[in-house]
């Protein structure tokens, strides 16, 4: 849902997973800290940024927004996860099986970011995978997963998406599970709702 001009920028933020651009030594333009997007490291190759839906475009949350609204980066992250969770209902997230691979579809933009929502992996997706997960995130709007014991899993994802290159994540986290009790239902409880945010 687009954010109106009267609302807080930060309160509309959605957590957004993105590839880290490697430093190749190319000179970059200096930008004041206040003008840079808020970035949280996820791992060596991925980071979390925060986007606000402005209707016709998406805007990055910048450090100046945190300062102006007196919200910490940790509070922003909780808000971003809560709003990402809400997107799964409003954008009708669903799992589409293809042989032993499962694609998560959600009308573009935030599919890969769903890797951030433990609730999906701990409950909703568990019906599809019994063991550990293997997940592929080749683009912002693509998330595919399978059981890590399925040898062809990550390779099959790579065949269907040649740009996959370094964004394959093998998740050996048994905490990742998913039961579809509320898949696509915007009225289901939001596990990220309990965050204490001013």
pLDDT at 91 over 90: no
What does the domain layout of the chain look like in residue ranges? 10-89, 91-182
Give the list of residues 6+ apart from residue 16 with CB closer than 8 angstroms, or none.
Answer: 48, 49, 50, 51, 80, 84, 109, 110, 113, 140
The whole-number pLDDT of residue 185 equals 32
What's residue 72's pLDDT? 96
Which residues does 46 contact at the CB level (< 8 Å), separation at least 6?
Answer: 17, 18, 19, 20, 137, 167
pLDDT recorded at residue 140 = 84
Q: What confidence tens digit (pLDDT) does each residue in 54-81 have? A: 888 999 999 999 999 999 999 999 999 9
User: Is 190:86 a contact under the CB 8 Å cutoff?
Assistant: yes
Find out whether 127 and 134 touch, Cβ atoms under 8 Å: no
Share of the chain above pLDDT 70, in %: 72
- Residue from 111, 97, 124, 138 nearest 179 by CA: 124
pLDDT (tens digit per residue) in 16-29 = 999 888 888 888 78
The kind and range of the H/E element at 48 are: strand 46-53
- What is the share, in percent, of the chain residues with pLDDT greater than 90? 35
The confidence band for 154, taking pLDDT boundaries of 50, 70 and 90, is low
pLDDT at 152: 62
Integer-rounded Cα Rg, in Å, for the chain is 17
Lowest pLDDT segment from 23-27, 35-39, 99-103, 121-125: 23-27
Question: Residue 173's pLDDT is what?
Answer: 30
**Mean pLDDT of all residues belonging to the chain:** 76
């Amino acid at each position: 849902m687009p954010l109106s001009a009267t609302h807080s920028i930060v309160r509309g933020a959605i957590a957004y997973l993105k590839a880290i651009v490697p430093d190749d030594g190319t000179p970059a333009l200096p930008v004041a800290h206040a003008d840079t997007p808020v970035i949280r490291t996820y791992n060596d190759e991925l980071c979390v940024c925060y986007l606000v839906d402005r209707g016709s475009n998406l805007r990055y949350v910048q450090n100046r927004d945190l300062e102006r609204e007196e919200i910490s980066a940790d509070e922003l992250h909780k808000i971003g996860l809560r709003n990402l969770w809400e997107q799964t209902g409003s954008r009708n997230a669903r799992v589409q099986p293809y042989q032993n691979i499962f694609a998560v579809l959600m009308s573009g933009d935030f599919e890969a970011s769903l890797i951030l929502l433990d609730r999906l992996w701990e409950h909703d997706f568990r019906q599809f995978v019994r063991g550990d997960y293997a997940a592929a995130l080749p683009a912002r709007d693509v998330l595919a997963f399978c059981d890590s014991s399925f040898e062809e899993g990550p390779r099959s994802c790579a065949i269907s998406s040649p740009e996959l290159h370094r964004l394959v994540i093998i998740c050996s986290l048994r905490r990742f599970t998913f039961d579809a009790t509320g898949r696509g239902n915007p009225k289901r409880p939001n596990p990220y709702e309990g965050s204490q945010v001013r």
